[in-house]
Structure 1
Amino acid sequence: MRQNPRGHALSAAAALLGFLAMAHAVSFEVNDQNSTCIKAELSVNFSITYPTANGTNTVIVPLPDSAAVGNGSSCGNSGLSPQLQVSFGEGHSLGLVFSSDGHIYQVANLSVTYNLSDNQTFPQSSSKDILTLATNTSGISAQINTTYRCLSSTSVHLGGPKVQSSVAFFNIRLEAYMPSSNLSTNESVCPADLPVSTIAPTQSPTTTPAPSPSQIPDQGYYNVTNLNGTVCLMASMGLQLSVTYFSKSQNKTLQGIMNLQPNRTSFSGSCESTTATLVLTEDLTNLSFTFELNSTTHRYHLSVLNLSASWLDMTVPVAVSNSTLNYLQATNGSSYMCKSEQILYVTNSFSLKTFGLQVQPFGVNGNKFGKAEECQQDKDSMLIPIIVGAALAGLVLIVLIAYLIGRKRSHAGYQTI
């Protein structure tokens, strides 16, 4: 969690590993007039940081076997979206609200409700409130008539003024908008379960480029706040995605180009002592950046980029990840800036182009970017005019010297005999 004491972080991590080893999926089913619309097998751990009289405390709460389908569950009649509400413990709940465009369904809203007056779950809590945290960035999406499957642990971070929470899903299978009462045998696998490719992208001879957007992407401003509400990560940038996928309409591989639109993009993330994550979501596209800080050199870099996309023309959703990157390097307390266009090669099917980039994931002070460390492209763009100017000055000097020498020789030719 964000800004936790080291002891809490270590104990929380150890507890989480233990629960991952022991917990098993709990089954839920939402019915409407004897017809099943949502079915889910969920294994969930909630990591919750809450206020105490002496600061904060972090607990790991697994979804218990006694969890049940709550009264808020519905198949979405009368214009309402289908939703699964899971109730557990003393007034706690997990909510999944689904949406669909006819091709893809997704968890459009994920929410958790905690009753901080539950002393057994939240010992020494200084608050007795019932708090609800929500996000529209769940990362859970699948094709209609398929089962979403994710065996790996994937976390969603939520935050509020009093409580910070991380919801870790693992070993889950679910389906919404079901045509029958049984989970589909066809599966949409989550990005975390797919093999990771770290090969630099090369243009395949069978790949046909799709038309590129003619305009430069709009500049977006994004930030992440820590537990006390102050900004811990800042980013200003225009982003253009290049994704290779198999097209349903053209029945061949295409290279799709997409500009991320800031006015349609939601953002979230988390800050730790040596890692910081920014998650951007636009419709059916999820993009996450993870930065790492070297505590010895006091320098940070972009180490992980993840993309999941379920564009309408895709035969299957695209999910790619690279955790061995070394981009956007700068010193802690400084920002990294690159006004020039910059291409970040991620995998053989995905690259990201940045425009007017400035980012600072650590050491943010006063909600302002620190001293900028420029990328090599910007340094080169400044160096070229200097070199050209110096070359022109040298040329002028050579011409002047040649003129003076020629004039002196001319005068020497008219000496008196």
Structure 2
Amino acid sequence: MKLSHALAALIIGGCAALGCIQAVTLEVKEGNSTCIKAELSASFSITYNTSSSTRTAQVSLPNSATVDTGSSSCGTDGSSPWLVAVFGSGHALGLSFSSNGSLYSVTNLTLQYNLSDTSVFPEANSSIVVTVESASVGIWATINTTYRCVSATTFTVGGATVTFSDVRLEAYMPGNDLSPTESVCMADKASTTAPSTTAATTTTAAPAPTPPGTPEQGTYIVNNSNGTVCLLAQMGLQFNVSYVSKSQNKTVQDFVNLTPNLTSSSGLCEASRATLVLTQEQTTALNFTFTLNSTTNKYHLSGIALLANWSDMTAPFSASNMNLNYLRSTLGRSYMCNAEQTLVVEPNFSLNTFRLHVQPFGVTTNQFATAEECQMDQDQMLIPIIVGAALAGLVLIVLIAYLIGRKRSHAGYQTI
């Protein structure tokens, strides 16, 4: 849904004008059925200019916020589901969602604030309405479960920051109430992992797991709405994940290869953002987010998110990082790296790539454009060139020495 249709989203109000931070319940309905429900607290830090300085407004989402029924939608007719909350004098907060069938995610967070609201922005030197947005903020959950994150989580959105806390949220709801089954965010999992208070025992560290070998290279594509290919990827993928094991009753490190013939691909292509979602047998969902800088015409892998529910896990595993800077290349070219790369996402999750070739923007004729190779491939090509040049130099030196020696030996004989 376009921002003009979504009035997309913002929430602003100072504590004095709009009330201190508190939980707000928001629902998007279609008829008598609820498709999106959110219970959350939100606060905002927004920098703005006055005639003489720069100020920062600290505001929160008040309990008087309401759902904008004209901009919110359950996502019928192929459009994305939207939750748009409005309050105060022209402020709004918007969340759009997408799903690949096994999980759903917040694909766009939009904030709209009205600088003419003097109760929030005193002495602002402008009276315009500002809209800022951030894509793929890392809020993921399994379909038919509630996303829960009690811990405070902050996102950068343009010149503002948005902090959510005490969040219980579900989209694509099968019923009118939040599911009792929850997908818990990593921040909550980390905060509830307390040190043991039992007596210390001597333990032997388990040996590092042996990787299962080089993963098979898979080919994955994303199509535009008109059916043309907009993203191409070929790669072998291997997960390096630490999780709590059912069988061992402790945290283990595991290497798992993605199996291409069991994996489906989906995604979305936009002007400056492209996503690739790989789903394997309803147990693994991996999301790649690529971002294009329209000023420099450079793109990079900016986000990776994993949701896994493997048989030995005590609970579904989720990890994401939307502030990455991997796989950098130029618009109109593809990115290639045959060497093994390790993409660190979080301390408990990294992704190993093998024989990787990807192009998220500017795909034409369903084929990869000329590739920009990674530094590791360039170094590997440089080594044989250096060795070959050294051998050629050595042969040349031996040949010159031989010719000089032969000439000197002939000089010792005189013609009679």
User: If the length of structure 1 is used for normalisation, what is the TM-score?
Assistant: 0.59
Distance apart, 1:227 and its partner CA: 2.6
Task: Report the Cα distance in structure 1 between the residues aligned to 2:210 and 2:81, rounded to whole angstroms.
Answer: 48
Which of 14, 24, 34 does residue 7 from structure 2 map onto?
A: 14
In structure 1, what is the equivalent of residue 301 of structure 2? 302
Distance 1:218 1:171, change over 3 A: same
Give the residue type in structure 1 aligned to 2:373: E
Which secondary structure state, in structure 1, belongs to the residue aligned with residue 398 of structure 2? helix
Task: Report the Cα distance in structure 1 between the residues aligned to 2:178 and 2:361, rounded to whole angstroms.
Answer: 47
Which of 184, 187, 194 does residue 189 from structure 1 map onto?
A: 184
Task: Report the Cα distance in structure 1 between the residues aligned to 2:25 and 2:270, rounded to whole angstroms.
Answer: 26
RMSD: 4.2
Q: Is the 1:25–1:172 contact (alpha carbons within 8 Å) kept by the matching residues of 2?
A: no
Which secondary structure state, in structure 1, belongs to the residue aligned with residue 8 of structure 2? helix
In structure 2, what is the equivalent of residue 382 of structure 1? 381
Task: Report the Cα distance in structure 2 between the residues aligned to 1:363 and 1:297, rounded to whole angstroms.
Answer: 15
In structure 2, what is the equivalent of residue 290 of structure 1? 289
In structure 1, what is the equivalent of residue 366 of structure 2? 367
1:336-415 → structure 2 map (5 Å cutoff): 336-414=335-413
Paired residues in the alignment total 290
Task: Report the Cα distance in structure 2 between the residues aligned to 1:350 and 1:59, rounded to whole angstroms.
Answer: 30
Which secondary structure state, in structure 2, belongs to the residue aligned with residue 255 of structure 1? strand
In structure 2, what is the equivalent of residue 122 of structure 1? none
In structure 2, what is the equivalent of residue 42 of structure 1? 37
Task: Report the Cα distance in structure 2 between the residues aligned to 1:389 and 1:374, rounded to whole angstroms.
Answer: 22
In structure 2, what is the equivalent of residue 249 of structure 1? 247
Q: Is the 1:248–1:314 contact (alpha carbons within 8 Å) kept by the matching residues of 2?
A: yes
In structure 1, what is the equivalent of residue 265 of structure 2? 267
Distance 1:46 1:258, change over 3 A: farther
Give the residue type in structure 1 aligned to 2:3: L
Q: Is the 2:7–2:84 contact (alpha carbons within 8 Å) kept by the matching residues of 1?
A: no
Which secondary structure state, in structure 1, belongs to the residue aligned with residue 246 of structure 2? coil
Q: Deviations over 1:28-70 (max 9, x none)?
A: xxxxxxxxxxx9983495475869xxxxxx7876599xxxxxx
Identical aligned residues as a percent: 54
Gaps of 5+ in 1: 2-8, 28-38, 52-57, 65-95, 97-105, 111-137, 153-169, 197-204
Q: Which moved more, 1:368-377 or 1:404-413?
A: 404-413
Which of 165, 172, 181 does residue 169 from structure 2 map onto?
A: 172
Which secondary structure state, in structure 2, belongs to the residue aligned with residue 381 of structure 1? helix
Distance apart, 1:320 and its partner CA: 1.4
Which secondary structure state, in structure 2, belongs to the residue aligned with residue 249 of structure 1? coil
- Say whether residues 1:276 and 2:269 are aligned partners: no
Task: Report the Cα distance in structure 2 between the residues aligned to 1:59 and 1:251, rounded to whole angstroms.
Answer: 41
Distance 1:375 1:268, change over 3 A: same
Distance 1:59 1:277, change over 3 A: closer
Task: Report the Cα distance in structure 2 between the residues aligned to 1:347 and 1:278, rounded to whole angstroms.
Answer: 19
Task: Report the Cα distance in structure 2 between the residues aligned to 1:287 and 1:63, rounded to whole angstroms.
Answer: 27
Q: Is the 1:191–1:308 contact (alpha carbons within 8 Å) kept by the matching residues of 2?
A: no
Task: Report the Cα distance in structure 1 between the residues aligned to 2:35 and 2:3, rounded to whole angstroms.
Answer: 31
Q: Is the 1:194–1:319 contact (alpha carbons within 8 Å) kept by the matching residues of 2?
A: no
Q: Is the 1:207–1:255 contact (alpha carbons within 8 Å) kept by the matching residues of 2?
A: no
Task: Report the Cα distance in structure 2 between the residues aligned to 1:372 and 1:347, rounded to whole angstroms.
Answer: 28
User: If the length of structure 2 is used for normalisation, what is the TM-score?
Assistant: 0.59
Q: Is the 2:334–2:371 contact (alpha carbons within 8 Å) kept by the matching residues of 1?
A: yes
